[in-house]
Amino acid sequence: MVMNIARSLILVACAGLGQVVYAGEAVVAVASNFAPATRTLVQEFIATSKHDVRVVAGSTGSLYAQIINGAPFDVFLSADLERPRDLELQGHAVAGSRFTYALGQLVLWSRNPQYEGKNCFDELGAMGNAKLAIANPRLAPYGLAAEQYLRSVGLWDRLQANLVMGENIAQTLQFAARGGANLGFVAAAQLSMPTLPAATCVQPVPANSHAPIRQQAVLLLRASDNEAARAFLQYLKSPAGRATIVKAGYALEGEST
């Protein structure tokens, strides 16, 4: 009897240990502009919870296509509001779980010495054979915002031969930073990267020249009972999470920028 009691106690103890060791896990699909911030948020989240999170980054359009085709993601951090809304309407996401986690800022950036001390916007009208990097407007909300700005100043059609399109905003910055393009429309949050070359001109794109870049999060349907996924979304809304988002270079909806 003593041996049986001892064995029972050991089993109970192991079960208790199992609850600590075997934490929940969530897979987060994130728009490439927000990937560095997400990795920081994940580190903070893991340090204060029993859960684990894996991150998959890509263009918003590409991730959306993967989701509707059954990709095993639990949370979608989009760079727009349209695709999370569509996923909700199509039954691929949990109704009522969608919210804006960040507001993006588009900037025109260059490392090219020829633009030192100049106005980036003035150079758009005299590019000649120079190249302009933007994210693909069909896949990336920052690319769509760049197109909207260029249309607002009457340069979209004129600059078609100059455009170099990245699949996402991360690739777009690579084009501009590595010399594949003379100028690039990139996300303001990317400019804090320590490996980025020194800029010769940086200018924010007027917010009234394009639709707001409302980056929304949504819980995907397959994760409706995923405790880790729900907890991570709650962390994004927490004071600590919001502080990290602001530190990463984003604004928050309802707050002055």
Give 215-257 pLDDT, tens digit per residue. Answer: 999 999 999 999 999 999 999 999 999 999 999 999 998 764 4
pLDDT-based confidence at residue 57 (cuts at 50, 70, 90): very high
Does position 207 have pLDDT exceeding 80, yes or no? yes
Average pLDDT for residues 76-92, to the nearest whole number?
97
CATH of 106-204, one of 3.90.380.10, 1.10.287.130, 3.40.190.10, 3.40.50.300: 3.40.190.10
- CA distances to 27, 97, 245 from 35, rounded to whole Å, are 13, 21, 11
Q: What percent of the chain has pLDDT over 90?
A: 86
Closest CA to 143 of 61, 84, 223, 242: 61
- Most distant CA pair in the chain: distance in Å? 91
The confidence score (pLDDT) of residue 2 equals 41
Nearest to 32 by CA among 133, 108, 109, 104: 104
In this prediction, residue 103 carries a pLDDT of 96
Residue 123 sits at the vertex; the CA angle it makes with 121 and 126, to the nearest 5 degrees, is: 130
pLDDT, position 193: 86
How far is Cα 247 from Cα 193, in angstroms, rounded to an integer? 12
The answer to whether the beta carbons of residues 125 and 108 sit under 8 Å apart is no
Q: What is the dihedral of CA 111, 112, 117, 118, to 10 degrees?
A: -110
- Inform me whether the pLDDT recorded for 77 exceeds 90: yes
pLDDT band at 83 (very low <50, low <70, confident <90, very high): very high
Q: Amino acid letter at 171? A: Q
Q: What percent of the chain has pLDDT over 70?
A: 90
pLDDT in tens, 135-192: 999 999 999 999 999 999 999 999 999 999 999 999 999 999 999 999 999 999 999 8
More confident residue, 1 or 35: 35
What pLDDT score does 255 carry? 63
CA distance 156 to 150: 5
The CATH number given to 24-103+214-247 is 3.40.190.10
Q: What pLDDT does 254 receive?
A: 73
Same fold, 24-103+214-247 and 106-204: yes
* pLDDT of 6 over the 60 cut: no
Average pLDDT in the 29-43 region? 96
Residue 12 has pLDDT above 50, yes or no: no
Domain ranges of the chain: 24-103+214-247, 106-204
